[in-house]
Chain A
Amino acid sequence: MSSHTSKSFIPPVARKLQTITLAHGSGGKAMHDLIEDVIVKSFDNPALALLEDQARFDLKDLVSLGDRLAFTTDSYVVDPLFFPGGDIGNLAVNGTINDLAVGGAVPLYLSCGFILEEGLPLETLRQITASMKKEADKSQVSIVTGDTKVVHRGAADKLFINTAGIGIIPKGINIAATRAEPGDMVLINGFIGDHGAAILEARGDLALRSSIKSDCQSLSSLVQAMLDVCPDIHCLRDATRGGIATVLNEFAQSSNVCIKLNEKDIPLRHEVRGMCEILGLDPLYLANEGKLLAIVPREYVERVMEAMRLLPEGQYSAVIGEVVVAPEKRVLLKTNFGGERIVDMMVGEQLPRIC
């Protein structure tokens, strides 16, 4: 605790200027202080406070919640670290929670690995850990174990985060990309492309200004509410990189079916549409960080939609298409204009067109 008292004598301005140095990753006192003062303090939970090399769980508690363990990991390298509607910490927590949630799991525990670039302001790290804690609390998830490494300037871009997550899947839930059946309907929980558009704008090289915010949010409560009214949801995935086009292609290919979308029913904000029009981008491929696509048996659609719309993260939910037999493994879009086209997997990155 002596480190705390010594730090409290540093005037606030100087404290703001403190930066991460290689010493913070050396395994010595500086690292110990960083972990205790920033990380353990922010994440604040009993499992982490023990400072053992691993978190430990009672199996009995886990078994009481369901019959399968869900386990996932994801790394976060977003640039810039802070953007309208969120930051890398918010993403790192909700992204992994969402990967658990869309498997039908109740998310419980997260790990957190930081890779910090030498020179990162300590205050930045504090802001990010605070944001992580806030988001974890919202979904009643604990960050129970972690790791911190510091690399030379230039060896990483400011800060990278890896989170892994554990959740429990209740009995009777069987969500899989292979289960889409002709007759099922395709549901989404709101506007597409907000995150991708917000990041494009936040990078600042477009000289565009708008009010678009990332949709970065936890989908855990939403999924639970959906499963409460329809335990037999066939497919569920969050549409992150590659947008809704990519996820729907995955469903169509895994299930050997065709998914038919109606362009007019797909929720798209005016601002995002405007940005896509200017840059020649297709919103179906823009990234989201708080949107899920669900394939639901037709007879449950009304109940699921009602449950979704009751929650803020599902307020703008819509039925955007249906599953049909043929052409197999394809996603088709009925355009507002009256034509029909294929929505393919994206090749490479979406690049703005020349003219």
Chain B
Amino acid sequence: MKYVDEFRDPEQAQKLLENISVLAKQVQAGKDRPIHIMEVCGGHTHTIFRYGIKQMLPQEIELVHGPGCPVCVLPMGRVDDCVALAEHPEVILTTFGDAMRVPGSQKSLLQAKAEGADVRMVYSPTDALSIARKHPEKEVVFFALGFETTMPSTALTVLQAEDEGIKNFSLFCNHITIIPTIKAILDSPDLQLDGFLGPGHVSMIIGQHPYLFIADQYKRPLVIAGFEPLDILQSIWMILNQMKEKRHEIENQYGRVVQNEGNHNALKAIEKVFELREHFEWRGLGSIEHSGVRVREGYARYDAERKFSIPNLKIADPKSCQCGEVLKGTLKPKECKVFGTTCTPETPLGALMVSTEGACAAYYSYGRMDSFESKKEATT
């Protein structure tokens, strides 16, 4: 398949792995722990597990799975609010597929749907707008979530609704921003990260400049990476190269998609419709300053939070849940006390087990190879 297979070529992978192996040994020499590289984005986590990249890497490198799965980091209280919206008799609630399964404190959207709420899966916010056109007697609420990647399409849909004078469409806005979150992780006192794989699709929108502080203040390399397996390997190699040369810079491996200055039109649409919230609550990480956006006053009529009264309750994460530590890279998924026992993809307790892009769910579905391998070694 064109434009796909080129980025999954096993021969290229072998060559890269050999180079990575040599570099990793040089860089890790003299350290008492492996090199920790965090992939910020859930899409990267998915690729890493799906192609078995984790097992291909030399033991000197350990990948830490970051907070970049917007479905996973959604706090329970927000899911409850969304369920409450869906249960309004006049509401058709529209959402991306994998948000349907996220558990609230009482139920998920899937369960609300089974109980009679009108919840519909869409592939784009413009699909939600089409439903609004078709059902003028109903209020169509779009469950807007995601990082800067999905923000522009939500913003443009609001602008289109305004253009067409559609009045029965609104957002339940849970969009979040990546930069304050990376900063929160970098500020954590027990930080053990040596470099970052930067999120490719977020960067396509925001460009390279917002990451500069990571290199300047925190002295860590970040390489903006694509989502194919060779992209990941090449980006890891680029990070190791920086480490070897004692550089810490922002580099762009995903040049075929990401431009240095980002996408001007997308940023303009975001700026027009959204503004930063003072705080936004993250599952597993707690409240992070300026990490979420809301609909601006001028577009209040498209804001479901203003149109409807919602419970807006804070629900604490379960006590046994150690998602925060896993997110920061101080704990591996399988080291969490509840991993695979009370917390499984069928009954997720913590954020990271919820979506297939969550570190724990990916680890659970694809990654439990380590335990076999260590068993094999023990028996042979």
Contacts and interface: CB of A to CB of B under 8 A. Distances in A.
Interface string B110-143: 1000000000011100010000000000000000
Contact of B13 (A270, A338, A344): A338
Contact of B43 (A274, A344, A352, A355): A355
Main secondary structure of the interface of A (DSSP, over half): loop
Contacts of B122: 205
B1 A342 contact: no
A353 B355 CA distance: 8
A346 to B, nearest CB: 9
A36 B56 CA distance: 66
Interface stretch (B32-40, B46-54, B160-168, B313-321): B46-54
Contacts of B346: 347-348
B101 interface: yes
B51 A341 contact: yes
Contact of A351 (B51, B97, B145): B97
Contacts of B372: 326-327, 330
B1 A273 contact: yes
Interface in B41-99: 43, 46, 49-56, 70-71, 96-99
Contacts of B14: 338
Nearest to A330: B372
A140 B268 CA distance: 66
A14 interface: no
B177 interface: no
Given A327-B372, A351-B98, A337 B1 contact: no
A208 to B, nearest CB: 10
A353 B366 contact: no
Nearest to A351: B97
Contacts of B149: 355
Contacts of A352: 96-98, 121, 123
A353 B357 contact: yes
Interface string A58-82: 0000000000000000000000000
B100 A340 contact: no
Given A335-B52, A348-B346, A354 B145 contact: yes
Contacts of B43: 353, 355
Contacts of B147: 355
B345 interface: yes
Contacts of A342: 365-369
B144 to A, nearest CB: 11
Contacts of B367: 341-342
Contacts of B97: 351-354
Given A351-B98, A353-B98, A354-B98, A341 B150 contact: no
A326 B372 CA distance: 9
A205 B134 CA distance: 14
B51 A339 contact: yes
A277 interface: yes
A337 B13 contact: yes
Given A338-B10, A338-B14, A354-B71, A274 B366 contact: no
Interface string B342-380: 000110000000011100000011111100100110000
Q: Which range holds the interface residue count of chain B?
A: 35 or more
Interface string B1-41: 10010001010011000000000000000000000000000
A206 interface: yes
A326 B97 CA distance: 35
A336 interface: yes
A336 B8 CA distance: 8
A202 B13 CA distance: 38
Nearest to A328: B372
B52 A337 contact: yes
Nearest to B100: A351
Nearest to B348: A347
A116 B50 CA distance: 43
Contact of A336 (B10, B70, B71, B101): B10
A207 B130 CA distance: 13
Given A326-B372, A339-B56, A348-B346, A354 B4 contact: no
B52 to A, nearest CB: 2
Interface string A323-337: 000110010100111
A337 B376 contact: no
Nearest to B199: A355
B198 interface: no
Contacts of A338: 10, 13-14, 52, 56
Contacts of A340: 52, 55, 369
Contacts of B292: none
Contacts of A274: 1
A33 B376 CA distance: 69
A277 B227 CA distance: 12
B70 A344 contact: no
Best-surrounded residue of B14, B51, B121, B364 (most CB of chain A within 10 A)? B51
A270 B52 CA distance: 22
Contacts of B333: none
Nearest to A352: B97
Nearest to A342: B366
Given A348-B101, A355-B150, A277 B13 contact: no
A196 B49 CA distance: 24
Contacts of B96: 352, 354
Given A338-B14, A338-B56, A339-B52, 18 more contacts: A206-B123, A326-B372, A335-B51, A338-B13, A339-B54, A341-B50, A341-B369, A342-B365, A342-B367, A344-B365, A347-B365, A351-B98, A353-B97, A354-B150, A354-B355, A355-B43, A355-B150, A355-B201
- In order of increasing CB-CB distance, the 10 nearest A-B pairs are A339-B52, A351-B97, A352-B97, A327-B372, A347-B345, A338-B10, A341-B52, A354-B96, A337-B51, A341-B366
9 contacts: A205-B127, A273-B1, A274-B1, A341-B51, A341-B55, A342-B367, A344-B364, A351-B101, A354-B99
